[in-house]
Every structure is written in structure tokens, then in C-alpha cells.
Amino acid sequence: MSKRALTARTLTTESGAPVADNQNSASAGIGGPLLLQDQHLLEKLARFNRERIPERVVHARGSGAYGYFEVTDDVAGFTHADFLSAVGKRTEVFLRFSTVADSLGGADAVRDPRGFAVKFYTEEGNYDLVGNNTPVFFIKDPLKFPDFIHSQKRDPFTGRQEPDNVWDFWAHAPEATHQVTWLMGDRGIPASYRHMNGYGSHTYQWTNADGEAFFVKYHFKTNQGIRSLSAEQAAEIVGKDANSHQTDLLQAIERGVNPSWTLYVQVMPAADAADYRFNPFDLTKVWPHRDFPLQRVGRLVLDRNPDNVFAEVEQAAFSPNNFVPGIGPSPDKMLQGRLFAYADAHRYRLGVNHTQLAVNAPRATVASNYGRDGLMATNAQGREAKNYEPNSYDGPVETGRPLAAPLALSGHSGTHEAPLHTKDDDFFQAGELYRLMSAEEKSRLIANIAGGLSQVSRDDVIEKNLAHFHAADPEYGRRVEEAVRALRED
């Protein structure tokens, strides 16, 4: 075969050699056993065996899309982050939605928190904002995170999610009462990814050009309106299309119905944190809007679907320690744990060079550092480039300018409980949330909780959970107790 015959339409092996027959394996005669020398067959089977990578332990089932973030309001007084520096400034983004507890093969329309992870491709590097569709979470210390997830995952013996495990953990984690009230309420099953809010959930730090520090919480409010599903509606949808949320997002963008969210922040001067009535760094708590009103920042729009879900959604890697100048961490314990855990998960799943994959690589700037080699490295440089610093060869150098303001420290090292603020019990905000609900919302919340709790086999686990709802609000506890009793007596 001439060189001219090897065109873009010629099927080749991975080494570039032309494939003569892609329909029949090489054999020892007609009908004989196959040959070990059939390189094309062995290469196809070997690659097929390795097409999938380990799925995420959490947030395994996901969907994503590209778009942009546009600044609509001046926030330069709070942060010197360049992508937030001027009204009208646009930054490309990639947003990944996900369920939390189920596996990659699970369904979309289930009662579960939703991941809401945004990668901003800024001119100062990629900024990853990793959050959920709820402003709070089940626990406040990362030491409990593996235990919590184990309790929600499939049981090692039965191979399914067990109410005994789910509610037993919550029985021993009273701080989960607030998030349980969110999860079992009307917003526990979003109708689609487009019809839910997103939250940074954690507390972050912003620093302005004068070095003043502020603590902030992010709120992405859906411009499509909140829409949710009842348990009955969700069951019907799952039976028809397990990929309902993925289908909805894909088709909406293909039709040009581009979903959008308005970003607001709550801003707390750093000096106010110590005396605030709630611990502002407790992930199980919110900051009431009457204390810190929402301030509009900009608009996030999704307008392009990925070309390849595996390459761009499954391999998308988000890590909350990817900050840019003007934004940094807070003493939020769960955030502090995730600063390590997320990046480490991606190094395990995708390899140490996962940041060189197209979806993860910077787009508005160039990564320039001394990280070299390793599996699938694509950043090899010329013979004069050095892999150490400092050097005498004009390699990249440090700026000497910290990304954010330093956090104040005091006391002795040790395994401390978080300091208590005046309203820092585990039940007050859960009760406040319950009392905000309409009569119909309360009834559905009670039914959802009782439906799961009544399946628990141990009376003591049920009683521990009931005590949490009683502590949040007497009516809340009474109604859950009566509903559980009625279901168990049937």
C-alpha cells in the first residue's frame, strides 16, 4: 500500500499501521483457533478492558456543560479576583452536576443532594467552586465523612442501601437534623438540574486589594424557577428514563434553551466571625439572610454540551484548593478536609497529570511549574528546561504575593471540638426551617421521613432519631413520631 493510501479515512492500529480486516480475527485455518499474533484483535480487547476508570466514590453519576460567567455588579470592594474585577467581564466555565450517594449506574430522579461544581477558566488560573444544591451538609468534621458515606452506600451484605444503616448514622449525628430536613422536604428530588439552586455551601474568604478580609457564602439562584418531584412522580420518571436529568440538560441546550443562574453572595467582615451567634464555619449551619443579605454578583449561563461525556464529564476534576488571587479558604473544617481529599481522589482516579486533560487544563492562561513526568505526562519541555527551583535558567518564579489574607491562629494543637457560639446547637436551624414551611410542605416532609424511618428494624435507632426532631420543634417531633407509629402498626 502506498503512503498516499493512508488517509484520514483509513482505519489504523494505535501505532498508525493500516488495518486490513476489522470484521474477522486471524485464525489457524478456516474455523481454527485464533492466533496470538493478531495484534489488532489483542489491541482492541486490551483497550476495551481498560476503557473505564474507577468511578468517583461520591458524586459518581454526573452531567455537565460549558458556558460562561458574566459579572453584573461591582464586588471589587470585597475581592481583587481578576475574573470578578469589572462589570461585563466574562469567564468561560464548565459546570458538573451530580447525585451524591449512588453509583455511576444509578438513576437521576432520586432523593439525594446534588453536586454543583463550577470550574472558572480565569486568566489567573482555574478556580474550582465545589458545592451542592443545599446550603448545608450532614456533618461538620471531615473525620466523619468516610463513615457517613459508608452508611449511605450499598450494604456489604445485602448489596443495597439499607434504612437501618442510613438512620443509624443519623441517630448518632444530631448535627445532621438540619440537612435531613432539607433532604426529606420538597426540594429533596429536583425535577431537573436546571430547576434547582446551587450553593458553595462552605464558607470561603475573599480579600480585596487593600488586604481586607471577608468571609463569603455563594448562592446560585436558578433563573428557571425551583421545580421538584414528589416521591411518586420520581418513581414514575425513573421507570421511564433513569437518565432524566441528563436528557433534560442535553436537550435544553441543544434546543438553545440555555439554563442560567444568578450568583449572589453573603459577605461577613472577618472581624465579625468570632462573635456571630452561629459558628460561621459550621457546614451544618446557614447565615440567615436578615443578618447578611444576598448581594448580586453575576450571571452563569450554560450554552454548550460536551462532545464526549467520558472525556469531559467523567474525567472532569474539581478541587476546592484550586484558588485564584483574592479568594482563599476559611477555617471551615469540612472545607479544610476537602482541600486534600478532592485532589487526592483525582490523582487516584485519573493520575497525577489529570490537570493536563483538556477539560481540566487552564484555558485563559498557561500552567507553568516544575511538575514533570509521571503516567501520561504531556508537558515535556526542551533540553534547557530545568525541573528544580530556584535555577539560573529563567524558569518560572514565585510572586511573593499570597492569594488571600492569613487566617488568625491561637491555642494548642489537639483534637478540639469547634468553639460554641450563642446559637450553636444542632437543632435550632432545623426547627427554623420546619417553621418556614407551609402546611402542605410540612405534611410531605413528615411523610418522607416516616416512610424511611419506619423501615428501621431497631427501636432504639428510631427513638434516637425521633429525639432529634422533637428537639428541633415539638410539633415536628410529634408528627414524625405519630406517622412512624402508624406505618409500623399497619
Which of 365, 396, 392 is closest to 381 using CA atoms?
396
Residue of 59, 80, 219, 354 with catalytic role: 59
125 phi/psi in degrees, rounded to 5: 115, 170
Distance (Å, rounded) from C-alpha 74 to C-alpha 55? 40
Provide φ and ψ at 219, rounded to 5°.
-135, 115
**Which of 128, 67, 62 minimizes the C-alpha distance to 362?**
128
Nearest to 271 by CA among 421, 419, 416, 407: 407
Q: Break the chain down into helix, strand, coil percent, rounded to 5.
A: 30, 15, 50
Would you mind telling me the total number of residues written for the chain in this entry? 490
Q: How many CB atoms lie within 10 A of CB 478?
A: 14
Give the Cβ contact number of residue 12 at 10 Å: 11
- Active-site residue identified among 40, 80, 126, 132: 132
User: Catalytic: 59?
Assistant: yes
> ∠ CA(11), CA(15), CA(20), 5° rounding?
35
* Cα distance between residue 13 and residue 24, in whole Å: 15
Strand partners, 218: 265
Q: Are strands 114-122 and 213-222 parallel, antiparallel or unpaired?
A: unpaired
Q: How far apart are CA 145 and CA 138, in angstroms?
A: 9
Other CB atoms within a 10 A radius of the CB of residue 332 amount to 25
Q: Cell numbers at residue 448, please? A: 418522607
Phi–psi pair at 139, nearest 5 degrees: -135, 165
For residue 132, indicate whether it is catalytic.
yes
Q: What DSSP string describes 205-232?
A: EEE-TT--EEEEEEEEEETT---B--HH
Active site residues: 59, 132
